[in-house]
Amino acid sequence: MGLWFWNGTLECLRIMSMRERVRPVKVIHIVENLDRGAVENWLVRMFRHARTTGVDLDWTFYCVEQKAGLLDQEVRVSGASVIHSPAPLHRKLTFSLSLRRQLAKGGYDVLHCHHDLVSSIYLMAAAGLPIKRRIVHVHNADEWVPTPNLGKQFLYREPMRRVCLALADRIVGISSHTLDTMLAGRARRENRDIIVYYGVDAKPFSAAFAGRAAFRGELGFSESARIVLFLGRLVPEKNPLFVLDVLAGMRRIDPTIVGVFTGTGSLESAVAERASGLGIKNAIRLLGWRRDVANIMASCDLFILPRPEQPKEGFGLAVVEAQLAGLRLLLSRGIAEDPLLPTAVYRRLPLSAGAKAWAKAGVELLYEPVPSQETALAALMKSPFEMDFALHQLRELHRIKLK
């Protein structure tokens, strides 16, 4: 009976797949631009995985930013379309009219908006068009509104939320926290308000080059150096300056501990200045933006992310990747439970505990056994972050009846 059911299920999936090959669902994703953003890199990763596994997708990326992105060419060569808005977002009427013309001309089945509350602008631009499904995808809990005026941010936030909740067929969160933040106390609606986790590609981490000695030599550190890694944008919401206070405290306990910052952002100069002020300039390295993240992670000892507790991180993709690289984790309570695999070796502390308590916890973590990369990879394969499962969930969002 079980075998019959499984074979029947496979046959149904095969027939559905054949039907989709006749005419895939035509999806337009509204994104920032195909560059270094986590959202866009996730979408490109899923598109790439679909191509690798023989899944035919008809995707268009409509980029709000007018400048070309690093991934534009790869995506076009892979078979997707990339369109840049002819008008900037701050010219709201011109932008909306341009977007509406593209939506009307393109004949899209699904409008998939990736800008949280700002998605309300895209939904209003699409009003009355024969688009079968409208999706608002919530990627963080910042509830950003595109105006520097704090009063206007407060006034616009709730109306924009209401537009999203009223006009979207699906509200999708990348974590439980992001979804509930968007709903703002409203009950989740069955089959409409859902969570779809990012798919995480394990291949770069299973094949990561653990060239610890070579990496330390490249950076001018001794072979015995124990590296604390901060990976992410150097911006206030990632709290890199606090990392320096923690590193200074850790080095007072163990002088072999050093720090590596991978990423760029508005606080880059401030990080260098704070390091000099704390007397640890020679013990840190600023690597900028790098593409060999898996290799860097595999060569470090501890991953640190002291995100402010409000608003919380939408979803800690780097936290998942750090576990796949076999790193211990030192996290704030601004990181939700969602990205933690059952195999994680970690501590979560409130920022109010102070840098001294964080430094003590970090040193203690370094004395714990190195997490098993193999068990972390195995745990990922059973999680909702697994690539095939994540792609299936994404396609289910887009599944509609085609004429």
Provide the 10 A C-beta neighbour count for residue 349: 18
Q: What is the distance, to the nearest Å, from the Cα of residue 339 to the centroid of all Cα atoms in its chain?
A: 11
More confident residue, 33 or 316: 33
The pLDDT assigned to 206 comes to: 81
The pLDDT assigned to 212 comes to: 86
More confident residue, 206 or 391: 391
Helix (H, G, I), strand (E, B) or coil at 83: strand
The pLDDT assigned to 356 comes to: 98
The pLDDT assigned to 11 comes to: 52
Confidence check: pLDDT of 7 > 60: no
Confidence check: pLDDT of 17 > 60: no
Confidence grade of residue 5 (pLDDT, cut at 50, 70, 90): very low
Residue 378 amino acid letter = A
Please check whether residue 221 is in contact with residue 254, taking contact to mean a CB–CB distance below 8 angstroms: no
Task: Give the residue from 403, 400, 393, 399 showing the smallest Cα distance to 46.
Answer: 393
**What is the spatial distance between Cα 317 and Cα 197, in angstroms, rounded to a whole number?**
10
Average pLDDT over residues 40-67: 95
Domains of the chain: 23-199+386-398 (3.40.50.2000), 203-381 (3.40.50.2000)
Phi, psi values for residue 262, rounded to 5°:
-115, 115
Confidence check: pLDDT of 9 > 70: no
**What is the spatial distance between Cα 59 and Cα 79, in angstroms, rounded to a whole number?**
8
Average pLDDT over residues 16-24: 58
Across 164-317, the runs of DSSP E, i.e. the strands, are: 170-173, 193-195, 226-231, 257-262, 284-288, 302-305
* Least confident among 6-15, 85-94, 289-298, 323-332: 6-15
The pLDDT assigned to 3 comes to: 38
Please check whether residue 137 is in contact with residue 30, taking contact to mean a CB–CB distance below 8 angstroms: no
The pLDDT assigned to 333 comes to: 93
| Average pLDDT over the chain, rounded to an integer | 91
Q: What is the pLDDT of residues 68-107, one digit of tens each?
A: 999 999 999 999 999 999 999 999 999 999 999 999 999 9
The pLDDT assigned to 1 comes to: 39
The pLDDT assigned to 21 comes to: 52
**What is the spatial distance between Cα 107 and Cα 94, in angstroms, rounded to a whole number?**
21
Angle CA(152)–CA(113)–CA(391) in degrees, nearest 5?
Answer: 145
The pLDDT assigned to 119 comes to: 97
Confidence check: pLDDT of 19 > 50: no
Confidence check: pLDDT of 271 > 90: yes
Please check whether residue 118 is in contact with residue 146, taking contact to mean a CB–CB distance below 8 angstroms: yes
Side-by-side strand order, sheet with 346-349 = 284-288, 257-262, 226-231, 302-305, 328-332, 346-349
The pLDDT assigned to 23 comes to: 77
**What is the spatial distance between Cα 388 and Cα 369, in angstroms, rounded to a whole number?**
31
Please check whether residue 118 is in contact with residue 144, taking contact to mean a CB–CB distance below 8 angstroms: yes
Confidence check: pLDDT of 254 > 80: yes
The pLDDT assigned to 401 comes to: 77
Q: What is the pLDDT of residues 143-185, one digit of tens each?
A: 888 888 888 888 999 999 999 999 999 999 999 999 999 999 9
Average pLDDT over residues 216-232: 96
**What is the spatial distance between Cα 226 and Cα 217, in angstroms, rounded to a whole number?**
13
Average pLDDT over residues 242-261: 98
